[in-house]
Structure 1
Amino acid sequence: MVLHELISYDVLRLVWWALLGALLIGFAVTDGFDLGVGMLLPAVARTDLERRVAINSVGPVWEGNQVWLILGGGAIFAAWPPLYAVSFSGFYLAMFAALVPLILRPVAFKFRSKREEPAWRARWDAVLCFCGLVPALIFGVAMGNVLLGVPFRFAPDMRIFYEGGFFGLLSPFALLAGLVSVAMVAMHGSAWLLLKTEGPVAERARRIGMGAALAALVLFALGGVVLWSFVEGYRITSVIDPTGPSAPLRKTVERVAGAWFTNYAQHGWTMAAPALGLAGCALAALGLALRREVLALLASAGAIVGIVLSVGASTFPFLLPSSLDPRASLTVWDASSSHLTLFVMLVVTAVFLPLIVAYTSWVYTVLWGKVDARAIADGSGHSY
Structure 2
Amino acid sequence: MILHQLIDYETLRLIWWVLLGVLLIGFAATDGFDLGVGALLPFVGKTDIERRVVINTVGPVWEGNQVWLILGGGAIFAAWPPLYAVSFSGFYLAMFAILAALILRPVGFKYRSKRDSAAWRGGWDWALFVGGFVPSLIFGVAVGNVLQGVPFRLDDDLRIFYDGTFFGLLNPYALLCGLLSVAMLVTHGAAWIVLKTEGRVAERARAYGQLASFASFLLFVLGGVCLYFFVNGYAITSAVDGAGPSNPLLKDAVMLPGAWFANYGAHPWLLIAPALGLGGAFLTFVCFGARKEGLTVLASKLSIFGIISTVGVSMFPFILPSSADPRASLTVFDASSSHMTLFIMLVVTLIFLPIVLAYTAWVYKVLWGKVRPESITRKGGHAY
Give the TM-score taking structure 2 as reference length.
Answer: 0.99
The SS at the match of 1:113 is helix
Determine helix, strand or coil for the equivalent of 1:334.
coil
Contact 1:60-1:383 within 8 A present in 2 as well: no
**Could you say which residue in structure 2 is the equivalent of 1:3?**
3
Aligned length: 384
Note if 1:118 corresponds to 2:118.
Answer: yes
Counting aligned pairs with the same residue, the percent is 66
- Can you give the 5+ residue segments of structure 2 that lack an aligned partner in the other structure? none
Q: Is the 8 A contact 1:153 1:161 kept in 2?
A: yes
Q: Using the alignment, how far apart are the partners of 2:38 and 2:351 within structure 1?
A: 34
- What is the correspondence of 1:1-384 to structure 2 with a 5 Å cutoff? 1-384=1-384
Task: Report the alpha carbon displacement of residue 382 of structure 1 after superposing the two structures with TM.
Answer: 4.1
CA separation in 1, counterparts of 2:299 and 2:55? 23
Q: Which amino acid is 1:31 matched to?
A: D
Deviation at 1:104, TM superposition (A): 1.7
- 1:87 is aligned with what amino acid? S
Q: Deviation per CA, 1:360-382, whole angstroms, max 9, x where unpaired?
A: 01111111110021121233534
Contact in 2 for aligned 1:56/1:382 (Cα 8 Å): no
What is the CA–CA distance in structure 2 between the aligned matches of 1:12 and 1:212, rounded to whole Å? 38
Contact 1:277 1:303 in 2 (8 A): yes
- CA distance in 2 between counterparts of 1:378 and 1:261 reads 56
CA distance in 1 between counterparts of 2:186 and 2:128 reads 14
User: After superposition, what is the alpha-carbon deviation per residue over 1:293-352, rounded to whole angstroms, capped at 9, x for unaligned?
Assistant: 011100001100100000001000001000000000000000000000000000001000
Take 2:364 and 2:220, find their aligned partners in 1: how far apart are those partners? Answer: 30
* Letter matched to residue 335 of structure 1: A
Q: Distance in 2 between matches of 1:382 and 1:206?
A: 27
Runs of 4+ that moved beyond 6 A? none
Shift of 1:383: 2.5
Gap runs ≥5 in structure 1:
none
- Provide the C-alpha distance between the structure 2 equivalents of 1:326 and 1:320, rounded to a whole number of angstroms: 10
Do 1:187 and 1:212's aligned partners in 2 also have CA atoms closer than 8 Å?
yes
Q: Is the partner of 1:254 in helix, strand or coil? A: strand
Kept in 2, the 8 Å contact 1:38–1:129? The answer is yes
Shift of 1:186: 0.7
Q: Distance in 1 between matches of 2:128 and 2:87?
A: 27
* Cα distance in 1 for residues equivalent to 2:337 and 2:143: 23
d(CA) in 1 for partners of 2:101, 2:110: 14
1:3 is aligned with what amino acid? L
Supply the distance in 1 between the matched residues of 2:166 and 2:200 (Cα, whole angstroms): 40
Distance 1:169 1:146 in 2: 10
Task: Please identify, of 314-323 and 264-273, the stretch whose mean Cα deviation from structure 2 is larger.
Answer: 264-273
**Does the 8 A contact of 1:152 with 1:163 survive in 2?**
yes
Structure 1 letter corresponding to 2:267: H
What do the CA deviations read for 1:139-177 (whole angstroms, capped 9, x no partner)? Answer: 000000110000000011111000000000011000000
Q: Which amino acid aligns with 1:33?
A: F
Three-state SS of the structure 1 residue aligned to 2:246 is coil
Q: Distance in 2 between matches of 1:309 and 1:373?
A: 39
Residues 241-287 of structure 1 show CA distances to partners (whole Å, capped at 9, x for unaligned) of: 10011000000001110000011111111101100000100111111
For 1:357 and 1:33, the matched residues in 2 are separated by 17
Question: Shift of residue 115 of structure 1?
Answer: 1.1
Which secondary structure state, in structure 2, belongs to the residue aligned with residue 233 of structure 1?
Answer: strand
Q: Is the 8 A contact 1:375 1:382 kept in 2?
A: no
Helix, strand or coil: the match of 2:114? coil
- Backbone CA RMSD of aligned residues: 0.7
Post-superposition shift, 1:2?
1.1
